[in-house]
Amino acid sequence: MSVVNYGTREITCKIVYYGPGRSGKTTNLQHVYSQLPEERKGKMVSLATETDRTLFFDFLPLDLGTISGFATRFQLYTVPGQVYYAATRKLVLQGVDGVVFVADSQSRQLAENIESLQDLHANLADEGHDPRTIPLVMQYNKRDLPAAEISSIEDLDEVLNFRGVPHYAAAAIAGKGVFETLRSISTLVLSRLSAPATKGA
Amino acid sequence: MARDAGKEAEEEGGEFADFLADVSKEIAQRVESLDKKATPAAAPKKKTPIAADAGVIVEWPNVADRMIEDIR
């Protein structure tokens, strides 16, 4: 996806929230949506099963208005975390500009986090992205759970964050760390704003 | 007239407004630097060096020959 188009004076960023099932990806988007001023609230598309787990994906368009002469839009997506929705995850990753990996801090979920991260890397590579360079931010969610149930930030970082990208502790259900994460990935994506010569790339 | 989103964000307050203000600042900086790259300052025009003997026709015989040839 083109981040910046000088011809049409538009900036469009596609950010995908990735991670294992029940790690809190949808909760992140719901918190962002809840904080939008009424006049900016578009439609958050959320397709979920009867048990509230994301069946297809969530989509939240953020129309930020005109910034420095550019109509600026952020598109936030989540993928279904469950293993059997592999095709959907690949589809959602098409044209991605940046990824937030939402890890579940619970110690018993460590294997699922690793599996999901490996899945992310494989899918990014399949879509022609370099998993080593694409803008990425780690979010260690559910920090509000009892300390005995969750891994330390250091342990999670050591196992999951081998690229050394920015990481954030979060309790998305309470809105903690949600906007810090979004701000961080947005800055990383915008730092890739390309020169006019490469417009439409 | 459309107002800049960054200015609106400053007035709105709240988490989203802070986010919007930061994004606006980031974009403004990037766009400014890209615009500078896109339209580099015009390079000063190179003046044709004037030789010390400028104005003096040193190949007079050849010039005369060509003029005579043209008249013919």
Q: Is the pTM of this model over 0.90?
A: no
Q: Give residue A14's pLDDT.
A: 95
Return all residues near A15 (Cβ < 8 A) that are at least 6 apart: A74, A75, A76, A77, A96, A97, A98, A99, A100, A182, A185, A186, A189
**Alpha helix ranges (H) inside chain A:** 25-35, 86-93, 110-126, 153-160, 178-190
Q: Give residue B44's pLDDT.
A: 60
* pLDDT average, residue stretch B54-71: 66
* pLDDT average, residue stretch B41-67: 63
More confident residue, B35 or B12: B35
Instruction: Supply the DSSP string of A122-133, one letter for each residue.
Output: HHHHHTT--TTT
Q: Give residue B67's pLDDT.
A: 73
Q: Which of residues 36-65 of B touch A (CB under 8 A)?
A: 37-38
Q: Which CATH superfamily is domain A4-196 in?
A: P-loop containing nucleotide triphosphate hydrolases (3.40.50.300)
Q: Which of A175, A178, A190 sits opposite B26 (nearest CB)?
A: A190
More confident residue, B71 or A111: A111
Q: Give residue A190's pLDDT.
A: 92
**Chain A neighbors of B30, CB-CB under 8 A:** 190-191, 193
- B37 pLDDT higher than 90: no
Cα distance from B41 to chain A (closest Cα, Å)? Answer: 16
Q: Which of B19, B27, B38 sits opposite A67 (nearest CB)?
A: B27
**Chain B neighbors of A196, CB-CB under 8 A:** 34, 38
pLDDT tens readout for residues B16-29: 999 999 999 999 98
How many CB atoms within 10 Å of residue B36? 10
- A121 pLDDT higher than 80: yes
Of the listed ranges A148-152, A182-186, A197-201, the one predicted with least confidence: A197-201
Cα distance from A26 to chain B (closest Cα, Å)? Answer: 17
The letter for the amino acid at A183 is R
What's the mean pLDDT when you consider all of chain A?
A: 89
* pLDDT average, residue stretch B36-49: 63
- Tell me the pLDDT band of B7, cut-offs 50, 70 and 90: low
pLDDT tens readout for residues A44-92: 887 666 665 666 778 999 999 999 999 999 999 999 887 778 888 998 9
Query: Would you say A67 and A59 are in contact if contact means Cβ atoms under 8 Å apart?
Result: no
The interface predicted TM-score of the complex, written ipTM, equals 0.82
The tally of domains found in chain B comes to 1
* pLDDT average, residue stretch A165-169: 98
Domain containing B48 equals 5-71
pLDDT tens readout for residues A2-15: 578 888 989 999 99
**Alpha helix ranges (H) inside A74-193:** 86-93, 110-126, 153-160, 178-190
Domain boundaries, chain A: 4-196
More confident residue, A200 or B60: B60
Q: Which of B5, B18, B30 sits opposite A65 (nearest CB)?
A: B5
